Amino acid sequence: MIELDFDGHGFRRDGAPHRIVSGALHYFRVHPDLWDDRLARLRALGVNTVDTYIPWNFHELPGGEVDFTGWRDIARFVRLAERHGLDVILRPGPYICAEWEFGGLPARLLAVDGIRLRSSDPAFLAAVDGWFDALVPELLPLLGSRGGPVVAVQVENEYGSYGNDAAYLAHLRDGLVARGVDCLLFTADGSEDFMQQGGAIPGLLATATFGSRAPERFEVLRRHQPQGPLAAMEFWIGWFDRIGEPHHVRDAKEAAASLDELLATGASVNLYMAHGGTSFGLWAGANHSGTGPDTAGFEPTTTSYDYDAPIGEAGELTEKFHTLRSVIGKYVPLPEGELPPLPPRLAPRRLDRATGRARLLDSLDALSAPVHRPAPEPMERLGQSLGLIHYRTRVPGPRPELPLRVDGIGDFAHVFADGRPLGVLDRNAPGRTLPLATGPAGVTLDILVEALGRANYGPQLADHKGIRRGVSHERQRLHGWEIRPLPLADLTPLTFHDTLDTADGDPAFHRFETDLDTPADTFVALPGWGRGLLWLNDFLLGRYTHEGPQRTLYAPAPLWRPGRNTLTVLELAHHGEFLDLRDEPDLGPTTRAPSADY
């Protein structure tokens, strides 16, 4: 039994004065076979606690069932942490931000007309209650009061950056308590007065999130938490990356000095991130800095969540690991023993030709069954959460060249007339059109919409994917659509052809094969490829794009098999000829992380 609480001076753990020195590590961003390895590294950093969010949409499967097995076995993760001598802090949201698809909310919420997310709207609260009903019984045996390592649970996440609905926050707090969560509850908000005002919950410990200048930030927090412990629930020692912008790095010595300044105040800390890992599959989120869903300002996040963290994406103990460890060692005892060695990596090799190809437009019937609607619908209204979605209609003829417009694109629309690429429309260039003429027989218009991550931060959280509003030729709305959701959860129905070649702009799957004796970590580079998705065997590693910054996708050892392995690329723009397996990651050209000023 562990009890963490606090008095006017600070935290107490089982009655003794205590400082939380925590590191964030998200089990959902690390292959479950590597949880033990990464937790060992995290403990070696010197922290006494591990923090993780719990993403609702990762646990709620497309059919609605809530899953806590395999990669979703949060109890196993928590028990492993305990074995490494770590306390555990859980942050179950329901909203988590975290550069994670839709901030952890399930996409099905967007099919509910008029729902007010993150508020006391009864429709939202009912959904949250269902999630807590499923989740909390999993957590209860892990709590300190029942002999487990979970010492604290966060309510919502930086809510004050979004809203000020006190009834919503009270409902969350009461919902956790009523279901039996009896550990320390707290909130975490930015270190601005308005954020603390909106996000704090009377009676719960308020903490702060920031990346620098701890004494100043804690002065703000003190105005809202007049007594008791000061804690930086997120101290951003690196930063995430956005597609098309350089890779963020925060200088190791500067980050260590800033941590030293924080710990010298006597406060507690959670290093965000101690190990970032990977937003595998389609889980990377996005920011949206625009004023509406259809304005420019959509900024998708990369697949890598390396975060320039002290423990790199593939488990590397970086220079920052060592500088931070020295600082941590000044304040809490460091564990004894050798530091874990770098996990083995595969020798570089080139997969020099595709062994099969399949055009996406020829594979639609194999991958999806069509539904018919008078107007295009966003994917959430068809019960789809993630992936691509295909829309087809006939445009009659003859017609001279007139502008074709797609209103409300989430997020890239690849447009084809009679199967020939007409061009690509991008959500960040709203109002752009493509010229479309038709002959006497008219044309078949295909629009393949590629969804990137749903916004996880900011006011544009309700981020519908697919086509949100409609398609016009000149002023005429086009009707009579055949729509195929393409979640791409199963590629086995595809038929590959070994002689097929595909043209630029013709989306296709390209299959490569390679034999291995012993699986090990590798980094897949796609030189000369455009944009798309990459699977290893039947696992979707993530998105790649020539815009970078990341140039390799991390393919951890547990995803490889001894013997034959298949890499499948879905290329949407222009395909390359080969794939490279490398023994070093390449996260692209770097720039200074903004967190050093936040």
Least distance from ligand GLA to the Cβ atom of residue 84, Å: 23
Nearest-angstrom CA–CA distance, 91 and 188: 10
> Could you write out the DSSP letters of every residue in 203-271?
TSEEEEEESS-HHHHHHHHHHHS-SS--EEEEEESS---BTTSPEEE--HHHHHHHHHHHHHTT-EEEE
- With CB under 6 A as the contact rule, the residue among 60, 99, 306, 580 that binds ligand GLA is 99
Which of positions 38-77 make contact with ligand GLA (CB under 6 A)? Answer: none
Q: Which stretch binds ligand GLA (CB under 6 A): 92-100, 176-184, 192-200, 213-221?
A: 92-100
CB of 282 to ligand GLA, least distance (A): 18
Q: Of 103 and 530, which has the nearer Cβ to ligand GLA?
A: 103
Nearer CB in complex with ligand GLA: 51/87: 51
552: Cβ–Cβ under 8 A, 6 or more apart, which residues?
Answer: 523, 524, 525, 582, 584, 585, 586, 587
Phi, psi angles (nearest 5°) of residue 29: -110, 10
Q: Which of 99, 101, 234, 377 is catalytic?
A: 234
From the list 47, 81, 90, 98, which residue makes contact with ligand GLA (rule: CB under 6 A)? 98
Q: Which of 156, 158, 380, 450 is catalytic?
A: 158
Q: Contact region for ligand GLA (CB under 6 A) — 97-105, 215-223, 340-348, 437-445?
A: 97-105
Q: 407: which strand partners?
A: 470
- Interacting stretch for ligand GLA, rule CB under 6 A, among 10-18, 93-101, 249-257, 472-480? 93-101
The residues near 141 (Cβ < 8 Å, ≥ 6 apart) are 75, 148
Return the number of the residue (97 or 152) whose C-beta is nearest ligand GLA. 97
Per the structure block, which two tokens stand in for 517? 């004796």
Q: Which of 157, 384, 438, 502 binds ligand GLA (CB under 6 A)?
A: 157
Question: Which residue has the closest beta carbon to ligand GLA?
Answer: 97
Judged by CB under 6 A, which stretch of 70-78, 96-104, 242-250, 522-530 contacts ligand GLA?
Answer: 96-104
Contacting ligand GLA (CB under 6 A), which of 6, 240, 321, 509? 240
**CA R_g for the chain:** 25
The nearest distance, CB 271 to ligand GLA, in angstroms, is: 12
CB neighbours of 126 closer than 8 A, spacing ≥ 6?
A: none
- CB closer to ligand GLA out of 48 and 157: 157
- In angstroms, the CA 294 to CA 288 distance is 10
- Measured CA to CA in angstroms, residue 324 lies from 152, 251, 334, 380 at distances of 24, 11, 12, 43
Considering the complex, state which of residue 169 and residue 415 has its C-beta at the smaller distance from ligand GLA: 169
Taking the complex as a whole, how short is the minimal distance between the CB of residue 155 and ligand GLA, in angstroms? 13
Q: Which is nearer to ligand GLA, 18 or 91 (CB)?
A: 91
Binding positions for ligand GLA, 198-217, rule CB under 6 A: 209
Task: Provide the token pair at 94.
Answer: 């329901």
CB of 148 to ligand GLA, least distance (A): 24
As given in the structure block, the two tokens for residue 196 are 């603390």
Task: Give 130's contacts (C-beta < 8 A, 6+ positions apart).
Answer: none
How far apart are CB 250 and ligand GLA at their closest, in Å? 12
Q: Is 3 marked active-site?
A: no
Per rule CB under 6 A, count of chain residues that contact ligand GLA: 8
Distance (Å, whole) CA 88 – CA 76: 12
Range in contact with ligand GLA (rule: CB under 6 A) among 42-50, 81-89, 91-99, 276-284: 91-99
CA distance 332 to 349: 44
- Comparison of 270 and 363: residue with beta carbon closer to ligand GLA: 270
Handedness of CA 76, 82, 84, 90 (dihedral sign): positive
| The binder of ligand GLA chosen from 30, 97, 200, 317 (CB under 6 A) | 97
3-state helix/strand/coil string of 403-472 = EEEEEEEECEEEEEECCEEEEEEECCCCCCCEEEEECCCCEEEEEEEECCCCEEECCCCCCCCEEEEEEE
Give the per-residue contact string, 395-414, with ligand GLA (x = CB under 6 A; - = no).
--------------------
Q: Least Å distance between CB 234 and ligand GLA? A: 4
Instruction: For residue 158, indicate whether it is catalytic.
Output: yes
Burial class of residue 342 in the structure, from the number of CB atoms within 10 Å of its CB (0-12 exposed, 13-18 middle, 19+ buried): exposed
DSSP 307-375: TT-SB-TTS-B-HHHHHHHHHHHTTSPPPPSPPPPPPPBPPPEEE-S-SEEEETTTSHHHH---EEESS
Residue 594 CB, nearest distance to ligand GLA (Å)? 10
Tokens 């919503």 correspond to: 168
**Does 158 participate in binding ligand GLA (rule CB under 6 A)?**
yes
User: Does residue 595 contact residue 239 with C-beta atoms inside 8 Å?
Assistant: yes
Residue of 51, 82, 156, 234 that binds ligand GLA (CB under 6 A): 234
Cβ closer to ligand GLA: 312 or 519?
312
Pairwise CA distance, residues 453 & 468, whole Å: 15
Instruction: Work out how close the CB of 598 gets to ligand GLA at its nearest, in angstroms, rounded to a whole number.
Output: 9
Rounded Cα distance, 12 and 28, in Å: 30
Asked if 509 and 358 count as a contact pair (C-beta separation under 8 A), the reply is yes
Instruction: Supply the minimum distance, in Å, between the C-beta of residue 251 and ligand GLA.
Output: 18
Stretch that binds ligand GLA, among 80-88, 95-103, 442-450, 565-573 (CB under 6 A): 95-103
Please give the residue ranges that form the binding site for ligand GLA (CB under 6 A). 97-99, 157-158, 209, 234, 240
* Residues identified as active-site: 158, 234
